Structure 1
Amino acid sequence: MAYLTLFFTAFAAATLLPAYSELLLGTLASQGLPLFWLWFWATLGNTLGSVVNGVIGRQVDRFKHKRWFPVSELQLHKARNRFNRYGQWSLLLGWLPIVGDPLTLVGGIMRVPWLNFVILVGIGKGLRYAFVIWVVLEATGFASSAPSP
């Protein structure tokens, strides 16, 4: 059940919904659950949540002329220009707070090929969760109490 909760929390955290998967991951890691599986499910959920952002981004051109659409044509143009400056490699930064979720949305708008999108976003998210686990292990002293070879 812990893994499923972590998966869905990480999934929600990658969308524009407010969720904090790092806190849950840190709590579960400090409870001694297998670290690989915690990392795996958090990374998978967060990456798939970013895929949802990419799918939404691919639909933007269908709705950008609607009166209710929340982003102006000028804002879209600026976002496309910024993304073009750094290219699809910027998706490695999809894990960043505040700018990461919109970045994956723009990746969808720019129609980055799905395989590239998933690999780049997955690498960034996986590295972030590995770092969170490492910080928890260091803070709890678990890493230093492990027997050395």
Structure 2
Amino acid sequence: MAYLSLFVTAFVAATILPAYSEILLGGLVLEGYSVFWLWFWATAGNTLGSVVNGMIGRQVDRFKHKRWFPFSQRQLHRARQRFNRYGQWSLLFGWLPIGGDALTLIGGIMRVPWLHFVTLVAIGKGARYAVVLWLVIQANGGPG
């Protein structure tokens, strides 16, 4: 049940909803859960949440002319230009607390092929969770 809770929390954290999976991850490490499985499920959930962002991004063009649409044509154009400047490699930074969710949304808008999207996002998010796990373990006296 702990791994499922971590997966769900990491999934939600990758969406626009407020959630912080690192807190739960650190607590589960301290409770003695498998570091590998914690890393795996946190990375999987967070990556899947970013895939949802990408799917939403792929739908943007359907709604951009609606009155309620939150972005102007100018904002969309600038976001596309920035993404084109740095390319799909910027998805490696989808883990950033500020702007990371936007990167995955823009990756969807730009229709980055799913294999590239998922691979790059998973590498970035997996690296971030590995660092978080390492920091928690080091702060508590090293491996147990």
> TM exceeds 0.5?
yes
Letter in 1 for 2:43: T
1:77 alignment partner in structure 2: 77
> Structure 2 CA distance, aligned partners of 1:98 and 1:24?
20
Question: How far is 1:108 from its partner?
Answer: 0.1
Report the counterpart of residue 30 of structure 2 in structure 1.
Answer: 30
The CA deviation at 1:142 is 2.9
Measure, in 2, the Cα distance between the counterparts of 1:30 and 1:101: 28
Instruction: For 2:120, give the aligned amino acid.
Output: L
Matches within 5 A, 1:25-104: 25-104=25-104
Q: Distance in 1 between matches of 2:29 and 2:133?
A: 7
- Please state whether the residue corresponding to 1:115 is helix, strand or coil: helix
Aligned twin of 2:131: 131
Q: Structure 2 length as normaliser, TM-score?
A: 0.98
Identity of aligned residues (%): 75
How far apart are the structure 1 equivalents of 2:53 and 2:135? 28
Structure 1 distance, partners of 2:118, 2:91, is 9
Structure 2 distance, partners of 1:90, 1:22, is 22
Structure 1 distance, partners of 2:26, 2:73, is 40
Q: CA RMSD in A?
A: 0.7
Which residue number in structure 2 is paired with residue 106 of structure 1? Answer: 106
Q: Deviations over 1:77-119 (max 9, x none)?
A: 0100000000000000000011000100000000000000000
- Within 5 Å, which residues of 2 pair with 1:7-26? 7-26=7-26
Cα distance between partner residues in 1 of 2:24 and 2:82: 33
Q: 1:83 is paired with a residue of what secondary structure? A: helix
- How far apart in 1 are the matches of 2:98 and 2:53? 14
Runs of 4+ residues over 4 Å off in structure 1: none
Distance 2:33 2:120 in 1: 27
- How far the C-alpha of 1:30 sits from its partner, in A, is 1.3
Provide TM-score, normalisation by structure 1: 0.95
Unaligned runs of 5+ in 1: none
Aligned to 2:117: 117
